[in-house]
Chains A and B, each alone.
Chain A
Amino acid sequence: MSPEIKNIGLKETPTSTDEFIKGLWKENPVFVQVIGMCPTLAVSNSAKNALAMGLATAFVLVMSNVLISSLRNFIPKQVRIASYILIIATFVTMVDYSIQAISVDLHKNLGAFISLIVVNCIILSRAEAFASKNTVWKSGIDGLGMGLGFVFALFCLGSVREVLGNGSLFGIPVFPESFQEWIVMILPAGGFFTLASWLLLFNYFKLKKAKS
């Protein structure tokens, strides 16, 4: 559950660049807001899967942000969440069928998690917290920033897990033959450990910054 979704309205008229950058770093959905955990952990067992999942989510995020933002004056307040979910589900179905058309193997690897983009808290939280209140252009930028932040986080996890657990990156071996793979890293437990380590690293820098 998200600890807090920061109030963007506090800052004085942020520029488009600010909206873009904040998703990448300061409000990174995975490392800072700690939301959207399920796909983050589940499909990050190789760099390729992680990248594909990240891009699929980013696409849905941008498209749904743009559409929701352009319809924000037409959707009645009472049924907004239901409408958001319908819009998101439509895009997810599109992505699901596109991936199946592009690569059957990839579709098999990602499995049910493509469909589960629908309930990814990142998308709904951006729709509710940002797209429903801002212009189309800004919402698109916000979606792109958050989406790329998500891709970045997934890639961080996926590459570490693949390098340690499989001795390769994007399927290309990076270690000499004698390297003993840490099988645990590509198992579910490895996902928890890797994410915990990244959060530790972030906490460490945050504490260091707070002290100085």
Chain B
Amino acid sequence: MKEESLWFIFINASLINNFVLAYFLGICPFLGVSGKMETATKMGAAVTFVMIISSMSAFGIHSLLTAINAPFLQLISYIVVIAAIVQLVEMVIKKMSPTLFKALGIFLPLISTNCSILGLAIFQTGREYGFFESLVFAVGAGTGFTLALVLMAGLREQLDFADIPKVVKGTAITLLIAGILSLTFMGFSGLGS
């Protein structure tokens, strides 16, 4: 795994193995906040931001746990530290830039239970990424998440004006669109070879 170039990690995380459309991580916000373009972009930015920070801290925790030889504490410490960091980031942003804080709103605290964040931390540990690789992986995953969310929001905004049968309204049509998007993203799989 060590030979992977940083560029490939980025492309892999954002396009080939998109977190939402190939790994099904973060489906809840994907279905929940993809109704409007504006909120989708903000949510994407917030998730990317938290991903970068939690990826760095997960790298630190993993090194620490390996040093004291207690791998069974991994899951518990990840989730606690991620939740704490989200809280901390929230406070810092509130102090430093109230405008940004207002823009992100409720999405910031909600992110700590987004499975893509914990998934990212677990994947990067499993793949034994170094510090810079983890960082690039987090940026790529965040970009992929934002891309999927924005694409979906754009489609759903158009859908509001379309005349669709009553049966498929709501989650069903969103899932159908997600399936088609996922098929489209499979086209990127050739990029890796």
Contact = CB atoms under 8 A, between A and B. Distances in A.
Interface in A97-129: 97, 112, 115-116, 118-121, 124
B75 A89 contact: yes
A96 interface: yes
Given A38-B27, A42-B23, A192-B179, A89 B168 contact: no
A97 B72 contact: yes
Interface residues of B, number: 42
Contact of A189 (B33, B72, B126, B186): B186
B167 A42 contact: no
A107 B167 CA distance: 38
B42 to A, nearest CB: 15
Contacts of B169: 203
A85 B79 CA distance: 8
Nearest to B169: A203
How would you classify the secondary structure of chain A's contact residues: helix, strand, loop or mixed? helix
A28 B80 CA distance: 29
A191 B24 contact: yes
B179 A207 contact: no
Interface of A: 1, 34-35, 37-39, 41-42, 82, 85-86, 89-90, 92-93, 96-97, 112, 115-116, 118-121, 124, 184, 187-193, 195-196, 199-200, 203-204, 207
13 contacts: A37-B28, A38-B25, A38-B115, A42-B25, A85-B79, A90-B76, A115-B75, A116-B25, A116-B115, A192-B178, A199-B170, A203-B168, A203-B172
Interface of B: 21-29, 31-33, 72, 75-76, 79-80, 83, 113-115, 118-119, 122-123, 126, 166-173, 175-176, 178-180, 182-183, 186
Given A37-B24, A115-B118, A192-B176, 8 more contacts: A38-B25, A116-B25, A188-B21, A190-B179, A193-B175, A196-B173, A196-B175, A207-B166
